[in-house]
Chain A
Amino acid sequence: MFQVVMFNLTNGLIVGAFYVLMALGLSMIINLSNVVNFAHGNFLALGGYFAFMLTPYVGFWGALLISPLLTAVFGYAIEQLLIKHVYARNHIYSLLLTFGLGFILQDVCRFFWGPSPLPLGIPDSLSTPITADLFFITWYRVFMVAVVIVAVSGLFAFLKYTRVGMRIRAGTLDLDTVSALGVNVAALRSYNFAVGSYLAGLAGVLAAGQIGLNPNMGDDLIMPSFIAIIVGGVGSLTGTLLGGLLIGVAAALTTVFYPAASEAVIYVIMAVVLLLRPRGLLGEEGMLS
C-alpha cells in the first residue's frame, strides 16, 4: 500500500509539475493579452518534436536547452503574424484563432513526423531507479521536478527583478497606465507570449522524455491547465502554481482509491472552488470578472 500511495503521489507531483509549466505560460498570456491560447498544447508538442530533431546532433542536454528557445521564437512569430491582430477585438476571435491554429499545428506535426508515437531518448544516467525499494522513481522523474522548480523560480525572479518582468506584472494590473507611461505595450505582449511559449516548449521536452511524442500529446494537458488557472484564480501566477500542484496530486491520489474518477476529481475541485470562492483561491476580486 505504501508503495502504491508513494507511486501515485510522486506521479501526481510530476503530472502537477507539467500542469504548472503549461498553466503558467497560459496564465501569463491571459493576464497580459486577454487571450486564451488554445494552441498551447500544440506548442508543447512542437517543443517535444524540436527536441526529437535536435537530439541526434546536440544530445538530450543540448535539446533541453535549445528546443524551448526555438518554441519561444516560434511563439513570437505566431504572435506577430496572427495573434496581435485580434487583441482589440471581441475575445471570441482570439479563442477561434488559436483554436484553428491548434488544428493546423496538430496536422503539421502529423504531416512531418507521422501519426504514430515516437520515443525521445534520455541519457542512461537518468533512466535508472533511485533505490530498489522505490523502483518506480527513476532519476528522470526527480530531474523533471528539479527542472520545473528551477524554471518556475527563474520565471518568478524574471518577473520580479528584470525591467521587462516588472513591466509585465504592471501591465497585468493596469495596462492603460503602463501604456501611458510610455512602455511599448505591443512589444511587451510579444515578449510575454514568447516567455509563455518557452514554458510550453520546456514542458514538451520533459514530457517527451517520459511518455514519448505524438501529434496530440498536448491535448490531455490543456484542459487541466485551464482548471489549474481557474482554481488558482485568474490574474495570480502563484495561484496557478498552487492550482496545478493541487489538481495533479488530487487526481493521482484519487487514482489509488477510485481510478475511474481520477479525471472527474479535478472538475469537482473546480466546481467546489467556484461555488465557495468564485474568484479562485488566490485570484483578486474584479480581475477579468
Chain B
Amino acid sequence: MNALIRHKYATTAIIWALLLTVPYWLPMFGGYTALAGRVLVFAMAAMSFNLLLGFTGIMSFGHAAYFGLGAYGCGLFLKYVTASTPLAMLAGTLLGGIAGTLFGLLLVRRRGVYFAMVTIAFGQVCFYIAYKWDDFTGGYDGLRGFARAALDFGAFKIDIANNSTAFYFFILAVFGLAAILQAFLLKSPFGRTMLAIRENERRARFLGLPIEKHIWLSFSISCFFTALAGSLYALLNNFADPLGLNYIMSGNIVMITVMGGMRAFWGPLIGAVLFVALQDYVSSMTTNWMFFVGLTFVCVVLFFPRGLMGMFQKGART
C-alpha cells in the first residue's frame, strides 16, 4: 500500500515537473509551445469527460457539444460584448455547462448504447445551430474576429495575447486548477458515490443512493469542465470551429481518454500527448490521415483497450 501511494505521488510530481518546464524542453524536440497548449486543452476536455466514462461508468459520445459551446461562448463574448479574457471564459463555461445540465435532465434515465446515441444526437443539435446561424456564429467558416486580451490585474498586466510562453502558463494554471478540483471531487463523498455507481449500479441503488440525480450531477460537472476546456481552445486559436462541435470531435475526446487509460486520473493527459503528436505528425506526412488515425483507433480498441496508463496498472480492474 505504501509503495502504491509513493508511486502515485512520484507520477504526479514527474507530470507537474514536465508540464512546468515545457517551454524549455519542447523546442529541443522540434515542437512549439502552442502544441503543448493544445495538448493541455484536449487533456482537460478528456479528463473532464473521464469523470463520466472512467469514474461514473457512463458513456457519453457527445462531449464535443459542450467543448464547442465553451469555445463559441468564449468567442462570442469577446467579439460582441467586451474584450475581457476571464469574463469570456466564464461565459463559455456557463454556456456549455448549462446546456449540458439541461440535456442531462433528458438523459439520465437512459443507459448504455441508448445513452450514447442520445448524447450524439444532442451534440449534433449544437453543431447544426453553429453551422446554420451564419450571421451570428460565422457558419461553416467558423467564428473569427476576436482575440484573447491581456490579463489586467490593476497593479500589473500579463500579456497572454502576444507572449506565447505566458499564455502557455496561463493554460497550465487553469488546467492545474481544474485537475486539483477534479481530484478533490473524486476524493469527496460524492466522488465515492460515482465510483459506487460505476462498480455496481444496482447495489448502489439498493443502498439508497439517488442514482439518477447523481448521474445528472456528474454529467453536469463534467460538462462545465469540458466547456472550460473549450473556452481555452477558442483563446488558443483565436477562432471557434464548427467542426469542434461535431461528433468527430466527440469521438476524438473518447479516443484520447481510452488511448491514455480511462481508469487512471492522468490517463487522458497521456492520451492527449499521443493524440496531438499523432495528428500533427500524420497530417504533415500524408493527406490520407483519416486512414491512419482510424487504424490507430481500431488497433487501440483491439490490442490496447486499457490504454497506455492501464498497462502500468498491474493490479487495476478493467
Interface residues of A (CB under 8 A from B): 30, 34-36, 38, 82, 85-86, 89-93, 95-97, 99-104, 106-108, 110-111, 223, 226-227, 229-230, 234, 260, 263-264, 267, 270-271, 274-275, 278, 288-289
In the complex, the answer to whether B291 meets A103 with C-beta atoms within 8 Å is yes
Residues from chain A with Cβ under 8 Å of B247 in the complex: 223
- Judge if B138 is at the interface, Cβ distance under 8 Å: no
Cβ-defined contact, B121 with A226, below 8 A: yes
Contact status A107-B120, CB under 8 Å: no
26 contacts between A and B (CB under 8 A): A34-B112, A36-B117, A38-B251, A89-B305, A91-B112, A92-B53, A92-B59, A92-B116, A93-B301, A95-B61, A95-B251, A97-B301, A100-B255, A100-B298, A100-B301, A101-B294, A107-B294, A111-B291, A223-B121, A226-B121, A229-B117, A267-B124, A275-B106, A278-B109, A278-B110, A288-B114
A230 and B298 form a contact (CB under 8 A): no
A-B contact count (CB 8 A): 124
Checking B132, B251, B258, B297 against A264 with a beta-carbon cut-off of 8 angstroms, the contacting residue is B132
Q: Does B288 contact A (CB under 8 A)?
A: yes
**Across the interface, do B53 and A100 meet the contact criterion of CB distance under 8 Å?**
no
Instruction: Please name the 10 residue pairs, one residue from A and one from B, whose CB atoms are nearest each other, closest first.
Output: A100-B297, A103-B294, A107-B291, A104-B294, A100-B294, A107-B290, A100-B298, A267-B125, A103-B290, A97-B301
Q: B125 contacts which chain A residues (CB < 8 A)? A: 264, 267, 271
Q: Interface residues, chain B, CB within 8 Å of chain A?
A: 53, 59, 61, 106, 109-114, 116-118, 120-122, 124-125, 128-129, 132, 247, 251, 254-255, 258, 288, 290-291, 293-298, 300-302, 305
Whether A230 contacts B113 in the complex (CB less than 8 A), given A91-B59, A99-B251, A107-B288, comes out as no
Residues of the A chain whose Cβ atoms lie less than 8 Å from the Cβ of B59: 90-92, 95
CB pair B296 A100 closer than 8 Å = yes
Interface of A is mostly: helix
Given the contacts A107-B288, A263-B128, A289-B111, A274 and B118 also touching, CB distance less than 8 Å? yes
B6 CB to nearest A CB, Å: 31
Is A102 touching B294 in the complex (CB atoms < 8 A)?
A: yes
B292 CB, min distance to chain A CBs, angstroms: 8
Chain B contacts for A90, CB-based, 8 A: 59
- The answer to whether B114 touches A289, judged by C-beta atoms less than 8 angstroms apart, is yes
Q: In the complex, which residues of chain B have a beta carbon less than 8 angstroms from the beta carbon of A30?
A: 113
Q: Which of A34, A229, A274 has the most CB of B within 10 A?
A: A274
What residues on A are CB-neighbors of B296 within 8 Å? Answer: 100
A42 to chain B, nearest CB (A): 10
Residues of chain A with a CB closer than 8 A to B116's CB: 36, 91-92, 95
* Chain A proximity of B177: nearest CB distance (Å): 28
- The B interface, classified by DSSP as helix, strand, loop or mixed, is helix
Hey, which chain A residues are within 8 Å of B254, CB to CB?
92, 95-96, 99
- A289 near B110 with CB under 8 A, answer yes
The chain B residue with its CB closest to the CB of A280 is B114
A288 touches B121 (CB 8 A): no
| Nearest chain B residue, comparing its CB with the CB of A31 | B113
Q: How far is the CA of A104 from the CA of B297 in the complex (A)?
A: 10
- Bound complex: CA of A106 vs CA of B295, how far in Å? 12
Let me know if B288 and A227 touch, CB within 8 A. Answer: no
Provide the bound-state CA to CA distance between A257 and B288, in Å.
Answer: 41
Q: Once the chains are docked, how many angstroms separate the CA of A176 from the CA of B18?
A: 50
List, in ascending order, chain A residues with CB within 8 A of B112's CB. 34, 91, 288
From B113, B294, B297, contact of A36 by CB (8 A):
B113
How far, in angstroms, from A266 to B75 measured CA to CA in the complex?
28
Check A34/B294 contact, CB under 8 A, given A93-B305, A263-B128. Answer: no
How many Å lie between the Cα of A97 and that of B297 in the bound state?
6
Cβ contact within 8 Å between B298 and A101:
yes
User: Distance (Å) between the CB of A236 and the closest chain B CB?
Assistant: 13
Given contacts A92-B53, A99-B297, contact A106 B290 (CB under 8 A): yes
Bound CA–CA A6/B53 (angstroms):
47
Q: What CA separation (Å) do A163 and B294 show in the bound complex?
A: 37
- Alpha-carbon distance A36/B300, docked complex (angstroms): 18
List of B residues within 8 angstroms of A36 by Cβ: 113, 116-117
By a CB distance below 8 angstroms, the chain B residues around A289 are 109-111, 114
B288 surroundings in chain A (CB, below 8 A): 107, 110-111
Beyond A103-B293, A106-B290, A288-B112, 16 additional pairs, beta carbon < 8 A: A86-B301, A93-B258, A96-B251, A99-B255, A100-B294, A103-B290, A104-B290, A107-B288, A223-B120, A226-B117, A234-B117, A263-B128, A264-B125, A264-B128, A264-B129, A267-B121
Q: What are the residues of chain B within 8 A of A260 when measuring CB–CB?
A: 132
Give Cα distance in the complex from A103 to B297, angstroms: 9
Q: Which residues of A contact B305 (CB under 8 A)?
A: 89, 93
Q: How far is the CA of A102 from the CA of B295 in the complex (A)?
A: 10
Q: Smallest distance from the beta carbon of B262 to chain A beta carbons, Å? A: 8
Smallest Cβ-Cβ distance to A261: which chain B residue: B132
Minimum C-beta distance from A190 to chain B (A): 17
Complex CA gap A110/B288 in Å reads 9
